[in-house]
Amino acid sequence: MRIDTKYSVGDKVFFFDPCKCCDGKGQVQLRDDTKITCPKCDGSGYDPNGKAQSDTVTMVFVSDSKWGRDERYLVERAMSSIPADRLFVSEKEALAAAGRASA
């Protein structure tokens, strides 16, 4: 069976590590259950001190359900899978998504 995905095994992708303060969610929850924009990453969900990394896709995980489709990718150096919306085709695209100007 062939399942179309955004990336395939062997593709080179670019990504940033998630923000350690909000675990890549862009928001933090206070004790009173109020959610605010993460003060470390300003809501981007990316590590503010991290640099764009490149790696090769080694595994693809796809889950289809009545709630939608979830595509996650494992890259050579990652300890956990990365969602499709956190991977990019080029370093320039990754920098733009993280809100950083390319110098």
- The pTM for the full model equals 0.76
Where are the chain's structural domains?
A: 1-16+51-103, 17-48
In eight-state DSSP terms, residue 85 is G
Residue pLDDT, tens place only, 39-96: 998 888 888 888 888 999 999 999 988 988 999 999 988 778 899 988 999 999 988 8
Beta carbons of 32 and 94 less than 8 angstroms apart? no
Instruction: Report CA-CA distances (Å) from 26 to 3, 21, 32, 41, 94.
Output: 31, 9, 18, 7, 16
Architecture of the structural domain at 1-16+51-103 = Roll (2.30)
Q: Is the pLDDT assigned to residue 20 strictly greater than 50? A: yes
Q: Is the pLDDT assigned to residue 102 strictly greater than 60? A: no
Q: Is the pLDDT assigned to residue 101 strictly greater than 60? A: no
Give the chain's largest Cα–Cα span.
48
Average pLDDT over residues 3-21: 91
